[in-house]
Structure 1
């Protein structure tokens, strides 16, 4: 049974989601502010976190930033009642694996959680990948360039693995979204682009200055050789 940490100040919504997710086989601990969430994270090791953007004692985005610093490999799904594009962009830039606007369908939340949890457990056959000065361990979710390690989020790890397995070959955006996000992109959905942007920042360019991940307009991305 996967243990989830739900962080949202809407207690009625939390009761609804805890009831629904429990019926779906999850064990859920709910917190209603950042302070209790930090305490819960110090006491337990959840399989994933569902985090609201707005909290009574601070921004959920600030808590996300701390989560990414302390637990870079922990899957995080953001919620927002405001549905502002800027919230979505900031959340993804700070390392959220996925994002849902409230009110959300509990069935969609369940599907997104199961997808991110599947992606967070690579199969044992995923061995270390070496390409030039880059070494990547899908199992650990760690990329090393010139012996400098960077820990990737679940989505970043799946994305890089897909690109490295077919270097120089363009991969369609929808195909990459299915691999990295566990779902197809919707209209105006820039989730994949934000994960690519974050990944580019972490791995940097080739030693000669060329970008490692190249975008093909309206098509997708590839890892350059």
Structure 2
């Protein structure tokens, strides 16, 4: 079997503007699954530069699943960008020390938690993902979208603020795809189904059901 290894930094020959992202990440608060790629018009080093306001003192994490597609200019705004919103002033006095050092005593800056990108998610050109957002498996985020809230699995969203434009598939199909979770299969099995994964879901789901039934019969005979 000839399949590119997920440990390959640049999987396209003589092209160093697309990488398998997990192989270039050095920040301890960012984790990326296998085969997720990032494509940049300049350099793949821009990815970490575009994860904004990710500080160790905030403790939040950016978690990206497997087989995601991340276009050039995508930005992640993390919780370090947050300011007080219910106080008289949103100004971060304590950051500047001196006689202001105790201005935040007994208080904490707001946090919306980790930012989670599911598996098989496509993030379009210059999309922005705000703190604490979860984007469900199989979703598509349109170019220039500003995602301010969670996105259900297999949704197409776009705009500023991003709105759910439509589901990709009906609810039953989405549930079946979620349960199958093909991205967790061994690469050998993914390769076996690759031509079906690039087609409409009915044929893929039928093939999976047929093969699982045959396997079950084999074990019972």
Instruction: Give your verdict on TM over 0.5.
Output: no
TM-score by length of 2: 0.23
Q: Which has the larger radius of gyration?
A: 2
